[in-house]
Amino acid sequence: MGTLVWVLQILLAVIFVAAGLVKLIRPKADLRAQMGWVDDYSDNAVKGLGAVEVLAAIGLILPALTGIGTVFISLAAIGIVLLMIGAAITHGRRKEYPFVAANVVLIVLALIVAVARFGAYSL
């Protein structure tokens, strides 16, 4: 189970660092084609979401690598759950149901990490 949790942590970190960097680096106008929801939010809000995603990715990996503050792994995973709940609500309002399904999958994966790292497989 420990290996599975590590794989999930790395998978989530890769997904969220990539998604976050895209939002941080690319202008809102360029994101519009892939992410129609950006029109509903200010440029600062989109950049803020990108920063939160990158920080969550760091929180999944860095404490585990350093052995310092390993409780932050679970907290980062819970943050991802909350972020994805918000994303699912946004996509649901826009009737973007395939994205809602993807959000639900990410919620489940992050919950597995959060529970495992709080419990028997904590570092």
pLDDT at res. 104? 98
Q: How many Å apart are CA 78 and CA 107, to the nearest integer?
A: 9
pLDDT, tens digit, 9 for 90 and up, residues 1-57: 689 999 999 999 999 999 999 999 999 999 998 998 999 999 999 999 999 999 999
**Secondary structure in 3-state letters for the chain:** CHHHHHHHHHHHHHHHHHHHHHHHHCCHHHHCCCCHHHHHCCHHHHHHHHHHHHHHHHHHHHHHHHCCCCHHHHHHHHHHHHHHHHHHHHHHHCCCHHHHHHHHHHHHHHHHHHHHHHCCCCC
pLDDT at res. 118? 85
**Residue bearing tokens 């709940």:** 85
